[in-house]
């Protein structure tokens, strides 16, 4: 166990702990941002946003990938579905 302090706060790390590299962190953040943008329309607006490019003035979001649509399967055979925007950060929300 490795122990120490960061900004005066104690921490402990299990033996063998390997932090991720800046490159890996950047890759994961980029992937996260792509996933969170799946519901944007061609004008870059989320469903419900003001959108001067929509005749109603309100974005309908991405009509190609609506919430609840199945977009694939996992190796285990579970359906991968588009979850509501508020749940996209939860991996379990993508599987049924």
Residue 66 within any structural domain of the chain: yes
Instruction: Say which residue the tokens 């003035």 belong to.
Output: 57
Residue 43 within any structural domain of the chain: yes
Question: Domain residues for 41?
Answer: 22-94
Q: Rounded distance, CA 28 to CA 41, Å? A: 23
Question: Residue 52's pLDDT is what?
Answer: 93
Across the chain, what does the average pLDDT equal? 91
Cβ within 8 Å of residue 82, ≥6 positions away = 38, 39, 65, 66, 67, 68, 69, 71, 94
Specify the number of domains making up the chain: 1
Distance, C-alpha 57 to centroid of its chain? 27
Residue 74 within any structural domain of the chain: yes
Residue 6 within any structural domain of the chain: no
Residue 5 within any structural domain of the chain: no
Tokens representing 15 are 């033996």
Residue 7 within any structural domain of the chain: no
In the chain, the DSSP E strands lie at 2-6, 9-13, 70-73, 79-81
Which is nearest to 94 in space by CA: 62, 64, 74? 74
Residue 71 within any structural domain of the chain: yes
| pLDDT tens for each residue of 18-48 | 889 999 999 999 999 998 888 899 999 988 9
Residue 29 within any structural domain of the chain: yes
């Amino acid at each position: 166990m490795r122990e120490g302090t960061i900004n005066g706060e104690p921490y402990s790390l299990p033996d063998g702990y390997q932090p991720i590299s800046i490159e890996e962190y950047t890759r994961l953040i980029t992937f996260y941002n792509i996933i969170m943008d799946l519901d944007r329309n061609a004008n870059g607006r989320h469903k419900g946003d003001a959108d001067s490019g929509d005749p109603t003035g309100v974005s309908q979001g991405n009509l190609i990938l609506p919430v609840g649509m199945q977009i694939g399967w996992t190796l285990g055979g579970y359906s991968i579905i588009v979850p509501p925007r508020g749940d996209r950060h939860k991996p379990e929300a993508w599987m049924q």
